[in-house]
Amino acid sequence: MLIETEPDLELVGAVAVLDTALSLFTEKRPDLTLMDLDWPGDNGVDAIQRIRAIDPSAWIIALVTYEWDTSGRRAVAAGAAAVVAKDLIGEVLVPMIRAGRRHGVAEPSRLFTPNSGGAATP
């Protein structure tokens, strides 16, 4: 994954099952969660709501197949701070993480991406 190639970020976990994602989120308390909205059999928007119930200050970026679609709007309504199209991850994601750091959104010592990635630590 892209996060692993960044010298100041460290992958700490990746999961493909919602319950495991929630358990790992609770255990690791990542500063940033990357939420793939294309969960097989599960709903990424529901996962965002459940993570925000665990931690209302959770910083979540939703990953969508298309630039902006209905699921992206629902993700923001559920508490995602941003939506990134999967085909733009390479261009947008790491700069977005670093911008969040600079602006005090988070100090991503941990990033977590259920289903499509992992967690990262600088």
**Where do the structural domains in the chain lie, given as residue ranges?**
2-120
- pTM comes to 0.76
- Please give the Cα distance from 53 to 47 (Å, whole number): 10
Map residue 43 onto helix, strand or coil.
coil
Closest C-alpha to 34, from 122, 120, 108, 112: 112
- Please give the Cα distance from 51 to 106 (Å, whole number): 16
pLDDT per position as a tens digit, 60-111: 888 888 666 688 888 999 999 888 888 887 788 888 777 765 555 544 444 4
Position 78 scores a pLDDT of 92
pLDDT per position as a tens digit, 46-63: 889 999 999 998 888 888
CB 6 within 8 A of CB 99: no
Fold of 2-120: Rossmann fold (3.40.50)
